[in-house]
Structure 1
Amino acid sequence: MAIVFFFSLQLSGCLILAVSIYLRVSKGGNEITDQYFPAVNLMIAIGAIIMVLGFLGCCGALKESRCMLLLFFIFLLIIFILLVAAGIAGAVSQNKMEDWVNKQLKAMLPLANQPQSVKSDLENLQKDLKCCGLVNGKTDWSPDPFPESCRCNYTISATPVPGAECGSDRYYSTPCSTRIVNLMKENMVIVLGIAFGIAVLLIFGLAFSMALYCQIGKKDGPTTNA
């Protein structure tokens, strides 16, 4: 039973690692937003560590090695404490998220001084999130001309694209900082849910490893005394 659990734990680590790498590759590559979504990098690290620890637990259970099981328990306990601390910190600091994002984005103004790679990333971001500028709207692009990605795409009936907030000048009126903050808040619930699921898995791992550790100790006790 314990071996099956440790093997399942290892598979869970592989799954978390694979999904996280996929998200990093498919959603990453934007210099502006990458720094605001560190959760994916954290999930990659957690997935890799759980995969290695699952292998350690399997070896400890198969060889009935108390040393391996004790190491497994200690490392799993450390990860559990760090995960709980990170979850609490994320939930508490959620209200300060908007101020922090705005402060970081304001440091990138004016956009005219940014390299072309950053400007291209922002244009792609404006197309995806239907926004314009970083903090103050289209004026963030001054004195450069406003890019076409700031324009609202109207249909033949002059109805704006769903989700777009267009001004009278047919430019998106919402700055990208607002979109980024809303996206982070929406994803925070998902991240906390995943963290809770991993925490429950770690609790079972702690219980199984300690139970097996004590069971092997009782089995070895009479032999040692003999």
Structure 2
Amino acid sequence: MGKVNIWVKRSFIAVASLIAVIGALMLAGILFMHGHYHRDEEIENMIVGIRAIYTLAIIMLLLPVVGLYGVCKEKKWMIIVFTVGVILCSLFVFYIGMSLLFLRPTIRKSMDMYYMDMQPFSNASETDLDIMHKTQKELECCGVQQGYQEWGYDIPESCLCIDNSTSVCMDAPKNSSLYKGADDPVMIYEEPCLPVLFRNLDLAFDISAGTSVALTLLWTLASVLSIVILCQLKPKKDAHVVAYSRESKTGHYAVLTEPAELT
């Protein structure tokens, strides 16, 4: 069996260890998120994505362990398992990342239609109003596209600016329900929610696409290194050494038969 180049081996160990660290961080993050939202009603809509991330994180932990053990012990079948695994994972993640980019316009259009259909808020259902209030609190915005004017006189408390808010705030109209007879100025969010939603959506898509490309490149590098190691582990054929000797110039042979006499 051939000998693995020490620098190729060290490079593989570094890349495989990095993949394992990323897998551990991903697993810790999804565990925290699952624990944070496990009582939320929206967890049912997120469970498929959570399970997919769980699976990917566990695979990213197990495959490097298999690959590292295979390289250190020079077990070819374990290196082959690692190579096939990272190639399949890289193709899957790259497909997911590209799919999200193609789905971005469709999701933006669906979100736009969903929030615009809530208007006017005076005729909106309780469920839609609860979603709108939650959106305004979380994103620090007011209204859908035109701002606080969409609420008319009854501007909700979810539009009130909180202390140390990073969003732009403005004075609420004096004739709004927020004053309730008070003379002190009341501050509300100036920006509507739809532009904020789109910015957050674009940021999430960009991060997802960048992460998928980075993981694909990392796994591709790991697969290339493992293939190089497999090639170096191939058994080498022993070449027979031909020795030169002066005696080989003289012919040591005997005539087996005498030539027939010419008649």
TM-score by length of 1: 0.67
Q: Which residue of 2 aligns with 1:148?
A: 157
Q: Give the root-mean-square deviation of aligned CA atoms.
A: 4.3
Letter in 1 for 2:213: F
Q: Which residue of 2 aligns with 1:61?
A: 71
Distance 1:163 1:32 in 2: 29
Q: Which residue of 1 aligns with 2:83?
A: 73
- 2:226 is matched with which residue: 185, 209, 217? 209
Q: Which residue of 1 aligns with 2:106?
A: 96
| C-alpha distance 123-65 of structure 1, shift in aligned 2 (>3 A) | same
Which structure: larger Rg?
2
Letter in 1 for 2:18: S
Q: Which residue of 2 aligns with 1:195?
A: 212
Equivalent pair of 1:53/1:72 in contact (CA under 8 Å): yes
Deviates more, 1:70-79 or 1:167-176: 167-176
Q: Give the percent of matched residue pairs that are identical in Structure 1 and Structure 2.
A: 18
How many aligned positions are there? 211
- 1:112 is matched with which residue: 125, 130, 141? 125
Distance 1:69 1:90 in 2: 32
Distance 2:145 2:117 in 1: 10
Distance 2:31 2:144 in 1: 28
Distance 2:89 2:34 in 1: 22
| C-alpha distance 153-5 of structure 1, shift in aligned 2 (>3 A) | closer
Letter in 2 for 1:211: V
Equivalent pair of 1:151/1:171 in contact (CA under 8 Å): yes
Letter in 1 for 2:196: R
| C-alpha distance 188-124 of structure 1, shift in aligned 2 (>3 A) | same
- What are structure 2's unaligned runs of at least 5 residues? 1-9, 177-186, 239-263
Equivalent pair of 1:105/1:135 in contact (CA under 8 Å): no
Distance 2:18 2:166 in 1: 45
- 1:47 is matched with which residue: 39, 54, 57? 57
Q: Matches of residues 180-191 of structure 1 in structure 2 within 5 Å? A: 180-191=197-208
Is the helix fraction higher in 1 or 2?
A: 1
Q: Which residue of 2 aligns with 1:163?
A: 168
Secondary structure of residue in 2 paired with 1:114: helix
TM-score by length of 2: 0.60
| C-alpha distance 34-193 of structure 1, shift in aligned 2 (>3 A) | farther
Distance 2:33 2:202 in 1: 18
